[in-house]
Amino acid sequence: MNHAEQRSLAVLDAKMTATTRKRPKVPSAIFMLGPAFVAAIAYVDPGNVAANLTSGAKYGYLLVWVLVAANIMAMLIQYQSAKLGVVTGKSLPELLGERFGTAGRRAYWLQAELVAMATDLAEVVGGAIALNLLFHVPLPVAGLIVGLVSMAMLMVQNRRGQRTFESLIIFLLAIITIGFLAGLVLSPPDPAGVAGGLLPRFDGSDSVLLAASMLGATVMPHAIYLHSALARDRHTTARDTPELLHATVKATRWDVVAALLLAGAVNIGMLLLAASTLGGVEGTDSIEGAHAAIVATLGPVIGVVFAVGLLASGLASTSVGCYAGATIMGGLLKIKLPLLTRRVVSLIPALALLTFGVDATWALVISQVVLSFGIPFALIPLLRLTSNKALMGIHRDGVPLRIAALVSVALVVALNAVLLYLTLTGS
């Protein structure tokens, strides 16, 4: 080979190397999973426990259909949120902050912050109840312990990064799954009852209130805001090439389906356990009473496993909720409040509630109703943004997805309107 040929080969090799550098290798889909499992923690928090156990104990299998419909909606919504973050490189709060004026941003932040506070209250209270059940720790002290442990978890996120935080959350999610589904092995549900519960219907205003709380606990506004940021931060190179972006959006879809199927199974399993075990038992309108009934019916081992699952739920969800609150504030107000500072401030309402002896389970259910009213404020802007061709390009929502999203929004608004009417009229 002469000198000219060698030089030509060197030039060709340089061009091929440059092309390779410009087109990063698409990673395996399994290594792109994770953000949805963090967001899914919001769907198995202590508020879910209170709403689902109360529903199953009081109405049996009547409201199974609510959880099934809500979980399908959750898959759709969380996929849209994650896709928005991946495609635009911005979170939902950031995009809304760019579109609102100063007054609009502040007003929108206020309602989102109230939702985040209601979420955090439910999560700290739930973790405190679990510590009380396991170790008889007084509720105010237990709430403080939950807050301190969640601070430690947030420090992991700050110092070790999102991937390590995701691994920690997934580990806790596994404990939650075992804790809440173990009882079904000893007390399986009635197949006919489950089938009947798939027929949409109510039984008075109390069942509508519970349905709204279950919906608020399953389709979580703060998880909608957070997931876009989680996906954005995890997939920072997704927009380097069209091929990589397409692969990332596809992997995100599978991430959401896997995470929400698991969360949905836990939610439905809790209701089925209550329906098969707690129906007609006195005192099951509280988590403590439900736990006592589970111990009496299924034994102390299942009772301990359930309480450990509740503790894992409280610790994981309050950390994720604090993360979501920081995302909301940062995107809408451009204020980067340190996570640990926010953890201290947001802990105060929950500790006050526990100190003054407000019924913990009642507070959990009501907090989920507050979340339910916050859902449209997150859903409607998300739907508008993911349907925007100028913003999303070829990844804009297709017609079937837009129709499904519109139906979801309509169902949420209608359920909340019925709830408000029945509450005001005392029906």
Q: Structure tokens of 75?
A: 């898959």
Does the pTM surpass 0.85? The reply is: yes
Rounded Cα–Cα distance for residues 146 and 314 (Å): 8
Q: What is the structure's pLDDT at 11?
A: 52
pLDDT at 327: 93
Measure CA 258 to chain center.
14
CB contact at 8 A, 123 and 318: yes
**How confident is the prediction along the chain (427 residues), in pLDDT tens digits per residue?**
555 555 555 555 555 554 444 555 666 667 778 899 999 998 898 878 888 998 999 999 999 999 999 899 999 999 999 999 999 999 999 999 999 999 999 999 999 988 888 888 888 999 999 999 999 999 999 999 999 999 899 888 888 888 899 999 999 999 999 999 999 999 999 999 999 999 999 888 888 878 877 876 677 889 999 999 999 999 988 888 999 999 999 999 999 999 999 999 999 999 999 999 988 787 777 888 899 999 998 999 999 999 999 999 999 999 998 889 999 999 999 998 887 788 888 889 889 988 888 877 777 767 767 777 788 899 899 999 999 999 999 999 999 989 998 888 888 778 777 766 766 676 5
pLDDT at 19: 46
Short-list 397, 412, 327, CA closest to 80: 397
**Residue of 216, 241, 242, 246 lying closest to 83 (CA atoms):** 246
Question: If you count DSSP H runs as helices and E runs as strands, how many of each does the chain have, helices first?
Answer: 19, 0
Work out the burial of residue 34: count CB atoms within 10 Å of its CB; fewer than 13 is exposed, 13-18 middle, 19 or more buried.
buried
Domain boundaries, the chain: 30-425
> Please, which residues have CB within 8 angstroms of residue 391's CB and are 6 or more apart in sequence?
87, 88, 95, 385
pLDDT at site 2 = 54
From the options 2.30.110.10, 2.40.30.30, 1.20.1740.10, 3.40.190.10, give the CATH code of 30-425.
1.20.1740.10
Instruction: Provide the pLDDT for residue 8.
Output: 55
